[in-house]
A = this chain, B = another copy of it.
Amino acid sequence: MTLDRLKPILEAALLASQQPLSLAQLEQLFLDHERPSHTDLAQALEALAADCAGRGVELVEVASGFRYQVRTEVHVYVTRLWAERSQKYSRALLETLALIAYRQPITRGEIEAVRGVVVSTQIIKTLEEREWVRVVGHRDVPGRPALYGTTRTFLDYFGLKNLDSLPTLAEIRDLESLMPELQFPREAPIPAQLSDDSTLAPSTETRQ
């Protein structure tokens, strides 16, 4: 069996198997008369491994045999397949973020002064982890409290060119007319034609 015929068979078997496949198991894919030599097998596996250059998976040999596995470089993306969606952010977090955005640089104490309640450490931590806010300095007063500001990630996320493109306070007071295209998803009533439309796809048959 030529390498060109051998490779697709091995690749398919390795990708179809849930477990790593040993050389012995790979040999069992072939009937006696077509069974490749050890050298051919090794050569084909080497070629398959080389084919993985620049791809999302790699062919590796582990204790029990060979397997394709997801490359470390793209692993972070792949794990999002099983990501849990967190709950919506709390009002407190959004208010804190808004104050930092509009009043930066601002200390935690100043945020608390405006909001009238203590800002939890968790909120600041979440905002920092999301890379939306960061410490930009310290106020030169006793205790040297941290001054918070927003980041470029924050601007990117909200589609803002710079801080000046944040709506003005006056515009905020009149939010209803502001940015009609940024409709906040309210509980929109389901259109009548959708509610009783069954999910059934129509039959493909052409009736006569």
Contact = CB atoms under 8 A, between A and B. Distances in A.
Interface string A150-192: 0001001100001110101100100000000000000000000
A12 B74 contact: yes
Contacts of A30: 77, 80
Counting chain B CB atoms within 10 Å of each CB, the highest count among A16, A28, A54, A149 belongs to: A16
Interface in A32-77: 32-33, 54-57, 68, 70-71, 73-75, 77
A172 B75 CA distance: 54
26 contacts: A7-B56, A8-B55, A8-B73, A9-B56, A9-B77, A9-B78, A10-B56, A11-B56, A11-B57, A12-B71, A13-B77, A15-B70, A16-B70, A16-B81, A21-B81, A25-B81, A29-B77, A29-B78, A30-B80, A32-B156, A32-B157, A33-B153, A162-B201, A163-B202, A164-B204, A168-B204
